[in-house]
Amino acid sequence: MSKIYDVAIIGGGPAGLSAGLYASRSKMSAVIIEKGKWGGQTATTEELENYPGSMENPTGPKVTERMKAQAEEFGTECLKDEVIGFDFSGKIKIVKLSKSEIKAKTVIYATGARPMLLGAPGEVELRGKGVSYCATCDGDFFTELEIVAIGGGDAAVEESIYLTKFADKVTIIHRRDEFRAAKSIVEKAMQNDKISVIWNTVVEEIYGDGIVEGVKLKNIVTGEQTDFKTDGVFVFVGTKPITEIAKGHIELDAKGYVIADEEMRTSVEGVFAAGDVRVKSLRQVITACADGAIAAVNAERYIEKNFEHITLPDAKKEGGWV
């Protein structure tokens, strides 16, 4: 019979890595399955000034690399594979992978979110040709060039500040007359003379012949339409949950986020959710980590109540625990 894990964690961002850490430290057998980059969205965030204890050396990739190493140190298995489906009908949950499957007593669904598209004409066609969703990936292409950033939340303002390391000028285009971003970030942006803001304005089209040349703007108060020449367009208009594979298995809200209670329990017994993928009011690294810890502890409680034994880890690894 193939191995039955205590916890199968879907997604290797801060929520999943924290769940793995807590599960392993409770001597549960845990596996994290990640199809893309470990660290999730945090791996492409340069500044992580709002995560306690990360003031020095705070880059997203470094912090999440350490989170992964820490989970592995305590015995979490980190598996690079894609989850293509589930079978939650039995007491043992089945996670279907591209070429195999994993059996587990509990599942923690922590797939996170991905950047939302703006939805403007030209956006899809010019992706990788000046339209970007990742400042750390693509920022240095725009060295000494002029770019626009669209959005008004933390990501839009924070990433705009980061982009001034490369670009000569960053113009933030925001549909409202004030930012939603944290005040300290806004203050920092306003003091940066490479940043300017166009308020009450939406981008109606991104255009260019094989490469971004400009955007068509519309002021939503006056209705005035203008043409704005630019070399690059960074889109930070929010995120959407990654729940395509969860649909039909656990309850989601109208926007596709997983509905879970304070104990991270979803509509299916033994299946928990953690991090940005969950319905919640604040999506940050710190809340994702908290969710992961809570989910792991409740997975353990669920196993204690519903299964006779907790699978003991390999004896040879025992020495590694403190």
Q: Identify whether the C-beta of residue 299 lies closer than 8 Å to the C-beta of residue 292.
A: no
Q: Identify whether the C-beta of residue 45 lies closer than 8 Å to the C-beta of residue 68.
A: no
We find the least distance from the C-beta atom of residue 206 to another protein, in angstroms, to be 13
Alpha carbon 262 to its chain centroid, in Å, reads 20
Q: Which is nearer to another protein, 147 or 294 (CB)?
A: 147
Work out which of 3, 69, 73, 82 binds another protein, going by CB under 8 A. Answer: 82
Q: Which is nearer to another protein, 130 or 214 (CB)?
A: 130
CA separation (Å) from 307 to 6, 272, 299, 311, 317? Answer: 10, 17, 11, 10, 23
Q: Which is nearer to another protein, 98 or 226 (CB)?
A: 98
What do you get for the CA distance between the two ends of the chain, in Å?
31
The amino acid sitting at 144 is E
Residue 85 sits in the site that holds another protein (CB under 8 A):
no
φ, ψ for residue 140 (rounded to 5)?
-75, -10
Beta-carbon contacts of residue 294 (< 8 Å; ≥ 6 apart): 262, 263, 264, 274
Beta-carbon contacts of residue 38 (< 8 Å; ≥ 6 apart): 12, 17, 64, 65, 68, 78
Residue from 78, 81, 87, 134 carrying the catalytic annotation: 134
Q: How far apart are CA 41 and CA 71, in angstroms?
A: 18
What SS3 state is found at 145? coil
We find the least distance from the C-beta atom of residue 182 to another protein, in angstroms, to be 24
Residue from 137, 140, 168, 253 carrying the catalytic annotation: 137
Q: Which is nearer to another protein, 115 or 270 (CB)?
A: 115
Q: What is the DSSP letter of 8?
A: E
Q: How far apart are CA 78 and CA 75, in angstroms?
A: 9
Strands 146-150 and 77-80: unpaired
Residue 58 sits in the site that holds another protein (CB under 8 A):
no
- Which span (101-109, 168-176, 208-216, 285-293) binds another protein, by CB under 8 A? 208-216
Residue 272 sits in the site that holds another protein (CB under 8 A):
no
- 137 catalytic residue (yes or no): yes
Q: Which is nearer to another protein, 193 or 244 (CB)?
A: 244
Give the per-residue SS3 of 60-72: HHHHHHHHHHHHH
Residue 232 sits in the site that holds another protein (CB under 8 A):
yes
User: Which residues ranging from 129 to 158 are in contact with another protein (CB under 8 A)?
Assistant: 129-134, 136-143
Residue from 6, 78, 138, 276 carrying the catalytic annotation: 138
Q: Which is nearer to another protein, 48 or 197 (CB)?
A: 48
We find the least distance from the C-beta atom of residue 318 to another protein, in angstroms, to be 31
Residue 212 sits in the site that holds another protein (CB under 8 A):
yes
The amino acid sitting at 77 is E
Alpha carbon 251 to its chain centroid, in Å, reads 20
Q: Would you give the binding string for another protein spanning residues 15-44, x where CB under 8 A is met? A: --------------------xxxxx---xx
Residue 223 sits in the site that holds another protein (CB under 8 A):
no
Q: How many residues bind to another protein according to rule CB under 8 A?
A: 31
Work out which of 52, 53, 210, 319 binds another protein, going by CB under 8 A. Answer: 210
Give the interface with another protein as residue ranges (CB under 8 A).
35-39, 43-44, 61, 82, 98, 114, 127-134, 136-143, 210-212, 232
Q: Write out the catalytic residue numbers.
A: 134, 137-138
